[in-house]
Amino acid sequence: MVNQTAFAKINLALHGRRRREDGYHELETLFAFVDDGDRLTAKFADEDRITVSGEFAGALDNSFDNILAKTLTRFPRHEGWHVHLEKNLPVAAGLGGGSADAGALIRMIADDAEDADVLRRAAGLGADVPACVVSRTRVGTGTGTDLAAVEDDLAGTPVLLVNPRVPLATGPVFKAWDQIDRGALPTGTAREVALAGRNDLEAPAIALCPVIADVLSALKATDPWLARMSGSGATCFALYADTESRDRAAAAMAERAPDWWRMSGALR
């Protein structure tokens, strides 16, 4: 049996530059990954099979469920696999969703998951999938599929994720973005880029899902050194100087809004 974690993806910064003629958006983003997420297990079987359990299993629709089937098709093997997904991350939440699951499955299948051809094929499954295969701090450009290394001075940073349990699809958020180019992603170490960066999708996401503003306000009140929305939302993250500060923040959030989903961890 093979096991992998589909690490939760967060965008420490996300700069929208322009809408392309093919309908996609030109982006510059700083990807980071939390040391927890969904869990995948796989074992040999007579034919490919996918099963799902976990808190958010019921929220999956065919488009999310099928990305694992598409991954198995795109990365053929000599034998069938029974893949089981324990869905711990909320769906349509700015955390990579099915991309994180596909990335974990590719790591299970490929001998060298970071091979250029593997990442090229991964990009055919979704713009975030190559980053989710690597699951380390990277700068993403183009539609997010072009990855570049960055000096990572954030590994081990305590992080708290909070989601108001309101799904928010990516398409409407991009449609609501005003498409104003507010400038390129800054340069520097990962920490410097994160601090000087922004998320251009935060405002349109809040317009569609106002509770995001409440989540951000609550997180900022816990004294992190950075709090921001991830991706197209609705999950927000906060980074802390130490684990004690993060754990106090998690307890405060649980008391303030016990129905909100939370995950405590550290950046990989």
pLDDT above 90 as % of the chain: 92
What distance separates the 2 farthest-apart alpha carbons in the chain?
A: 53
Q: Which residues are catalytic?
A: 9, 128
Structure-token pair, residue 76: 């053929």
Q: What ranges do the domains of the chain cover?
A: 2-148, 158-266
For the chain, what percentages of helix, strand and coil (3-state, to nearest 5) are there? 30, 30, 35
2-148 shares its CATH topology with 158-266: no
Q: What is the value of pTM for the model shown?
A: 0.95
d(CA 198, CA 178): 15
pLDDT tens sequence across 34-61 = 999 999 999 999 999 999 999 999 887 6
Q: Which CATH number is 158-266's, of 3.30.930.10, 3.30.70.890, 3.20.20.140, 2.70.98.10?
A: 3.30.70.890
pLDDT tens sequence across 61-85 = 654 558 999 999 999 998 999 999 9
CATH class of 2-148: alpha beta
Judge whether residue 239 has pLDDT over 90: yes
Question: Is 236 in a helix, a strand, or coil?
Answer: strand
User: 24 pLDDT band (50/70/90 cuts)?
Assistant: confident
Identify the sign of the CA torsion 70, 76, 80, 86.
negative
pLDDT at position 77: 93
